[in-house]
Amino acid sequence: MKHPAYNDETIVAWLDGEMSQDAARKFEAQLRSDEQLSERTAELMKSNQDFKRAFAPLLDEAPLARMQEHLERHLDKIQAPASGISRRVLVAASISFLVMGTGVGYLARPLNSVQSENEHIRDLEAQYMALYSAETLLDMDSSAPILQRGLARAAQDIGLQLREPQLELHGAELKMVRMLRYDKMPIAQIAWVHVDYGPMALCISPQEARNSTEITREKRHSMNIAWWSRWGYQFVLIGRNPEPQLLKSARTLYAALSDDVFKTR
């Protein structure tokens, strides 16, 4: 029986948890046996992460609650292919920071971390964006009704009243507004495709402290980051853009997202 072909957009949909349960099961069944598919999935998952800390091989149906407990012991025992499935397949099947959900991506907590909660989030968001290629967002439905629906969801989930004109960036096309989850924390992800540098995203998450900070630059997982805090939210702009260009975009957004976008939390 001929297996269905999976393009990059479909693979990323699986990584993002945006497949239906039935489609995801079919994808995972083929991933177990299709070396070409597993290699491409592994390629899309590359983000300079420590695969030793990644766990969720499809061969092991362990509940999510036991994943952290068995991670090191399980991977340390894998020295040779099991049941005809190579180590590369296991790497491809490992979901390093995405826990499958329905209709929304879930970011999973790192196993060992001394970082602050806000640093955790920035690190995970950078890992997530490192998966995106130039093709990832090209076929995304970015019509006005779809974008407005995403903005309405952001207003509902995190209390930000954003308008599309506030999200205009020179040389970049707005492609998507959607919600992610980190544990129980909602994160609004606003994504563009830059004409020269590909995908870039602004991730916005609530934080306990309501202090304001100026724009700070970082580099995580090969991605450039410009982040700031304001009115109880953390704003994280991520892309492969050169630092000066990303900083310019961050300043544009910082100025555009004025105080009137915030509701009382």
For 73-106, letters b (16+ CB in 10 Å) and e give ebbeeeeeeeeebeeebbbbbbbbbbebeeeebb
- Predicted local confidence at residue 155, as pLDDT: 93
- Predicted local confidence at residue 42, as pLDDT: 72
CA distances from 128 to 46, 102, 144, 149, 246 (A): 10, 17, 25, 22, 18
pLDDT in tens, 3-54: 457 887 788 777 766 777 778 778 877 877 777 787 777 777 654 343 333 3
pTM for this one?
Answer: 0.60
- Report the C-alpha gap between 98 and 107 in whole angstroms: 5
pLDDT band at 186 (very low <50, low <70, confident <90, very high): very high
Percentage, residues of the chain above pLDDT 70 = 68
Question: Bridge-partner residues for 82, per DSSP?
Answer: 85
- Predicted local confidence at residue 211, as pLDDT: 83
In the chain, the domains with their CATH numbers are 8-107 (no CATH), 128-261 (3.30.200.100)
DSSP state for residue 98 in the 8-state scheme:
B
- Predicted local confidence at residue 260, as pLDDT: 55
- Of 19, 13, 4, the closest CA to residue 135 belongs to 13
In this structure, are residues 203 and 118 in contact, taking their beta carbons and an 8 Å threshold? no
pLDDT in tens, 143-161: 999 999 999 999 999 999 9
- Report the C-alpha gap between 34 and 191 in whole angstroms: 31
Average pLDDT along the chain? 75
Q: How many residues does the chain have?
A: 265
